[in-house]
Chain A
């Protein structure tokens, strides 16, 4: 049983560019959440997708957007990248009614 997978593993982008990160949830899970983790800090909630709609959103600007597909996989898009967007981006999946959230290995984004 595959767990949560994320791609790519690492990414280097230049300020002003756009980036797309991908997440495949654990088999049987229908809810995907995205988190940003800066160095030395705990993860910060970006948003959550359920039934292909954004259900909750954290305190992140509109430059951060997402999508969930019918197969429950999800994408995180960040436009107009800033140096401060450099972080580990984590995807978590869950089965809505069971609540337990499982995390993927993350995508390390470096903005230069």
Chain B
């Protein structure tokens, strides 16, 4: 079965600094989601990557999917307190339509003022 490993498990970053979160899959990905979650709340959709080498950006967050479609990274530039939370990567297991997502265990990000 497919597994996702996220690193690091937790991260404390000085406000204004850049950071990167990594997600590695045991199998080739049909698609890769990035979500953000505030403690105990629902998941906020950040972006979905489907093509090898694809890169997407939203405000100060950039996500990339490698050419082999087994690794993804999430990069935050000039971090702010609003970026604090848990970042989850999820593997889209569907071949052609919406399907179950297998999630990593998450990266807990704290921003130090």
Chain A contacts to B: CB under 8 angstroms: 4, 6, 31, 33, 35, 40-45, 48, 50, 56, 58, 88, 90, 92, 94-106, 108
Contact = CB atoms under 8 A, between A and B. Distances in A.
Interface stretch (B11-19, B36-44, B60-68, B76-84): B36-44
B100 interface: yes
Given A56-B99, A56-B100, A99-B97, A43 B45 contact: no
B3 to A, nearest CB: 11
SS class of chain B's interface: helix, strand, loop or mixed?
A: strand
Interface of B: 4, 31, 33, 35, 40-45, 48, 88, 90, 92, 94, 97-106
Contact of B101 (A6, A45, A88): A45
Contacts, number: 72
A41 B105 contact: yes
A103 B97 contact: no
Contact of B98 (A4, A42, A90, A98): A98
A95 B98 contact: yes
Contact of A42 (B41, B99, B106): B106
A58 B45 contact: no
Given A42-B104, A45-B102, A100 B48 contact: yes
Contacts of B100: 33, 45, 48, 56, 58
Given A56-B100, A94-B98, A42 B88 contact: yes
A6 B98 CA distance: 20
